[in-house]
């Protein structure tokens, strides 16, 4: 996790994120917020990886043209050698460098993944359905039982709820079964020398070499997503440096093969990111159609007492346990779906995986592991999800109507705000939801 990330393409997350190699790339744990983890399917190690498409990236970045990629690939051995002095300053020996860096070849297929912009995306509810399944709930409960004593010890040491850790384990890698099989050193070396994120990945590459230098993880076990996230809870190399702990006391911080190290390191990560002990992540709430939806969004936090006064209640009118806790309102599907009041710990989960759909899946799976039920309210499953072209068109139409947005196909907070303003002016419930209905209204204006 390289730092915090804020602007989230929240409503719709790229479908490719689920399709391959734990496509791990958020700004925090992963390198771009468009492609979070949560591997659903994973090519097996025996299946031959397809070659690079040989085409320019969709981002339009000058470093992603075919010519730039080919030139950087030709220069790859020199690029690696230029990193030697930085590696040496980190205490990496020439022997280690020779063994793991010098003979690397680039994995150019990663360039396709770095710039993947799928035309079709899934809805928020489709992601939740895919990520929080009965099978995942059952498996998680089994693991909570099997590692009961480890979870006890970790909760005592870090004060982080075991169900959240188990849920991260389940969402990030399906409990260690879908973490990716690409060598982390090769992936990060490729991204450090080729493409549009070289600066970011130089640090990841060098941190990966440090792991091998210290002998924390066996070289053949340091494999993961194409972006270099590894282990059951998908640590990036720099996140490993910051958060990994040796909880089983064998002298190695092995967040791949030691379950105590995995559980404790993940807890330590959340704790250092600000986890509030004894508090949950948030609540499902009912948002009335008359509600002022401009109050929604991460930039507007207020106490649960104030939300209650504004007309927000829990589905069966259970009281909020701690009325002074501050929360922000998330309404992923507008007035037609459930709302959520997100506490501090939701923001902490967002640092772990900076996509709202994934963070909500982690919180919800944790509740289910604890014995809670599904969400009470229905999602608007009849709503069609806009394609990438339609999302762009929606933004272009909004911009043409004078709303302050830059069309990029990603529906973030600014687009939602513009949609709300447009809806208000058109006399529809201003919930900011990018529906086909809104697009049609814009087309007719
Ligand atoms: Ca250990």
SS3 349: helix
Contact 295, 329 (CB under 8 A): yes
Q: According to the model, what pLDDT value does residue 433 have?
A: 92
The answer, yes or no, to whether residue 30 has pLDDT greater than 70, is no
Q: According to the model, what pLDDT value does residue 349 have?
A: 97
- List, as one string, the DSSP characters of 170-213: HHHHTTTTSS--EEHHHHHHHHHHSSTTHHHHHHHHHHHHHHHH
Calpha distance 89→315 (Å, rounded): 57
Q: How remote is the CA of residue 46 from the centroid of ligand 1, in Å?
A: 29
In this prediction, residue 47 has a pLDDT band, given cuts at 50, 70 and 90, of: low
Q: According to the model, what pLDDT value does residue 165 have?
A: 98
The model's pLDDT over 333-380, given as tens digits with 9 standing for 90+, comes to 999 999 999 999 999 999 998 888 999 999 999 999 999 999 999 999
- Nearest CA to 262 among 245, 238, 249, 276? 245
Looking at residues 270-275, what average pLDDT do you find?
98
- Nearest CA to 350 among 330, 333, 375? 330
Calpha distance 223→339 (Å, rounded): 38
- Cβ count within 10 A of residue 219: 15
- Nearest CA to 266 among 279, 253, 278? 253
Within 338-408, where are the H helices? Answer: 344-352, 356-369, 388-400
Q: How remote is the CA of residue 280 from the centroid of ligand 1, in Å?
A: 29
- List, as one string, the DSSP characters of 28-63: SSSS-TTB----S----TTSPPPPP--S--TT--GG
Q: How far apart are the first and last CA of the chain?
A: 44
The answer, yes or no, to whether residue 98 has pLDDT greater than 90, is yes
Kindly state the DSSP code that residue 281 receives in the 8-state scheme: S
The pTM assigned to this predicted structure is 0.88
Q: Which of 1-15, 79-93, 305-319 has the lowest mean pLDDT?
A: 1-15
Q: How remote is the CA of residue 149 from the centroid of ligand 1, in Å?
A: 16
Q: How remote is the CA of residue 274 from the centroid of ligand 1, in Å?
A: 24
Burial of 176 by CB count in 10 Å (0-12 exposed, 13-18 middle, 19+ buried)? middle
Calpha distance 104→356 (Å, rounded): 36
Contact 224, 180 (CB under 8 A): yes
The model's pLDDT over 290-301, given as tens digits with 9 standing for 90+, comes to 999 989 989 999
Looking at residues 185-198, what average pLDDT do you find?
98
Q: Can you count the helices (H) and strands (E) in the chain?
A: 20, 8
Q: According to the model, what pLDDT value does residue 161 have?
A: 98
SS3 215: coil
Q: How remote is the CA of residue 211 from the centroid of ligand 1, in Å?
A: 13
Average predicted confidence (pLDDT) for the chain: 89
What residues have CB less than 8 Å from 241, skipping those under 6 apart? 207, 210
Q: How remote is the CA of residue 40 from the centroid of ligand 1, in Å?
A: 28
Q: How remote is the CA of residue 262 from the centroid of ligand 1, in Å?
A: 9
Specify the DSSP element, H or E, that contains 122: strand 121-122
- Cβ count within 10 A of residue 153: 15
The strand pairing partners of 13, in sequence order, are: 122
In this prediction, residue 398 has a pLDDT band, given cuts at 50, 70 and 90, of: very high
Q: According to the model, what pLDDT value does residue 19 have?
A: 30
Residue 384 vs residue 253, higher pLDDT: 253
Q: How remote is the CA of residue 244 from the centroid of ligand 1, in Å?
A: 10
Q: How remote is the CA of residue 249 from the centroid of ligand 1, in Å?
A: 5
| Long-range contact set of residues 297-303: C-beta below 8 Å, sequence gap at least 24 | 297/328, 297/329, 297/330, 297/413, 297/416, 297/417, 298/6, 298/328, 298/330, 298/342, 298/347, 298/413, 299/328, 299/413, 300/328, 300/329, 301/326, 301/327, 301/328, 302/326, 302/327, 303/327
Contact 355, 36 (CB under 8 A): yes
Cα 75 to its chain centre, rounded Å, is 32
The answer, yes or no, to whether residue 389 has pLDDT greater than 50, is yes
Q: How remote is the CA of residue 150 from the centroid of ligand 1, in Å?
A: 13
Cα 385 to its chain centre, rounded Å, is 20
Q: How remote is the CA of residue 5 from the centroid of ligand 1, in Å?
A: 30
Q: How remote is the CA of residue 79 from the centroid of ligand 1, in Å?
A: 33
Calpha distance 393→401 (Å, rounded): 12
Q: Which of 86-90, 204-208, 249-253, 436-440 has the lowest mean pLDDT?
A: 436-440
Calpha distance 90→184 (Å, rounded): 18
In this structure, the dihedral spanned by the alpha carbons of residues 265, 266, 272 and 276, taken in order and rounded to 10 degrees, is: -130
Q: How remote is the CA of residue 251 from the centroid of ligand 1, in Å?
A: 6
- Cβ count within 10 A of residue 56: 17
- Cβ count within 10 A of residue 144: 18
* Nearest-10 crossing angle of helices 388-400, 413-426: 60
Q: How remote is the CA of residue 216 from the centroid of ligand 1, in Å?
A: 8
Q: According to the model, what pLDDT value does residue 445 have?
A: 84
In this prediction, residue 122 has a pLDDT band, given cuts at 50, 70 and 90, of: confident
The percent of residues above 70 in pLDDT, for the chain, comes to: 89
Q: Which of 20-29, 84-93, 226-235, 385-394 has the lowest mean pLDDT?
A: 20-29
């Amino acid at each position: 996790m390289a730092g915090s990330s804020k602007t989230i393409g929240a409503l719709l997350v790229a479908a490719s994120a689920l399709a391959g190699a734990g496509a791990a790339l958020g700004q925090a744990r992963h390198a771009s917020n468009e492609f979070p983890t949560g591997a659903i399917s994973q090519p097996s190690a025996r299946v031959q990886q397809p070659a690079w498409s040989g085409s320019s990236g969709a981002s339009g970045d000058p470093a992603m043209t075919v010519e730039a990629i080919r030139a950087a690939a030709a220069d790859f051995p020199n690029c690696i050698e230029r990193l030697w002095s930085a590696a040496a300053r980190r205490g990496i020996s020439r022997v280690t460098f020779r063994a793991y860096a010098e003979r690397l070849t680039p994995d150019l297929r990663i360039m396709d993944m770095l710039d993947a912009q799928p035309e079709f995306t899934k809805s928020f509810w489709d992601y939740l359905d895919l990520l929080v399944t009965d099978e995942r709930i059952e498996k998680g409960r089994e693991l909570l039982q099997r590692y009961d004593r480890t979870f006890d010890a970790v909760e005592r040491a870090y004060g982080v709820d075991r169900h959240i850790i188990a849920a991260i384990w389940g969402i990030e890698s399906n409990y260690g079964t879908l973490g990716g099989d690409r060598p982390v050193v090769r992936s990060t070396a490729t991204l450090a020398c080729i493409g549009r994120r070289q600066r970011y990945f130089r640090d990841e590459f060098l941190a990966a070499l440090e792991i091998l230098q210290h002998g924390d993880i066996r070289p053949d076990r340091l494999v993961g997503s194409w972006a270099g996230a590894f282990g059951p809870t998908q640590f990036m190399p720099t996140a490993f440096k910051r958060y990994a702990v040796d909880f089983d006391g064998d002298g190695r911080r092995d967040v791949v093969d030691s379950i105590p190290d995995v559980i404790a390191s993940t807890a330590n990560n959340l704790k250092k990111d600000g986890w509030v002990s004894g508090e949950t992540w948030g609540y499902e709430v009912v948002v009335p159609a008359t509600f002022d939806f401009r109050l929604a969004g991460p930039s507007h936090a207020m106490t649960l007492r104030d939300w209650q006064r504004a007309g927000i209640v829990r589905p069966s009118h259970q009281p909020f346990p701690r009325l002074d806790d501050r929360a922000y309102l998330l309404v992923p599907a507008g007035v037609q779906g459930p709302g959520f009041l997100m506490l501090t710990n939701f923001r902490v989960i967002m640092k772990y995986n900076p996509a709202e759909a994934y963070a909500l899946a982690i919180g919800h799976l944790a509740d289910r592991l604890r014995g809670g039920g599904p969400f009470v309210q229905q999602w608007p499953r009849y709503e069609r999800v806009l394609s990438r072209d339609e999302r762009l068109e929606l933004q272009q139409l909004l911009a043409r109507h004078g709303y302050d947005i830059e069309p990029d196909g990603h529906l973030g907070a600014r687009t939602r705000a513009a949609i709300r303003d447009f809806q208000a002016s058109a006399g529809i419930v201003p919930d900011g939801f990018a529906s086909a209905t809104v697009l049609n209204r814009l087309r007719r204006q």
